[in-house]
Structure 1
């Protein structure tokens, strides 16, 4: 989980450090920083889903020891945590942007 969170954190830090002009939607950079944040979360969740899928496949191939089942359960719970975190962060930022748009 630490690797996935570090990857997402690095992607978000890169967005935060980018010049203001690149934060505006355009054809060159593919959209807004909010869109980039959503894409970073999506990639992180995809990676976690791939990890779970790989572990699940190994269980089907006979590696169904209690330790492997426990690891798969932990990875599945991590996916739930990450999914909730992504939803919360995107929702919070979306609401803040909405509030700023109303005041502008």
Structure 2
């Protein structure tokens, strides 16, 4: 999970090389992209664990690990939604006041 947090932190600070019709991506887009990549990485972990379970590894320890991964994914997804919504609302408020 530390790698995912580091990726998120690095992408939020580092300017994006992505562009939209030749224009650099905004930091808000970079933040959303970082959350997406972080959630994708967690989903791949869950997928790998599920494949192991389908292959016969249905031990209680493995099932507990799958449960923990699912809980982490839920927490991260809620955090992504909350942070993006909060920043979006703040940007909207600032735009109205200008």
Pick the TM interval, shorter chain.
0.7 to 0.9
> Which structure 2 residue ranges, 5 or more long, are not aligned?
none
SS at match of 1:63: coil
Distance apart, 1:28 and its partner CA:
4.9
RMSD (Å) for aligned C-alpha atoms: 1.8
**2:79 counterpart of 1:85:** yes
**2:22 counterpart of 1:27:** yes
TM-score by length of 1: 0.83
SS at match of 2:14: helix
Q: Of residues 33, 36, 41 in structure 2, which corresponds to 1:39?
A: 33
Superposed, 1:1-104 pairs within 5 Å as: 1-15=1-15, 27-29=22-24, 31-104=25-98
> Which structure 1 residue ranges, 5 or more long, are not aligned?
none
Residues in 1 aligned to 2:30 and 2:51: alpha-carbon distance in whole angstroms: 31
How many residue pairs are counted as aligned between the two chains? 96
Q: Structure 1 or 2: larger strand share?
A: 2
SS at match of 2:10: helix
TM-score by length of 2: 0.88
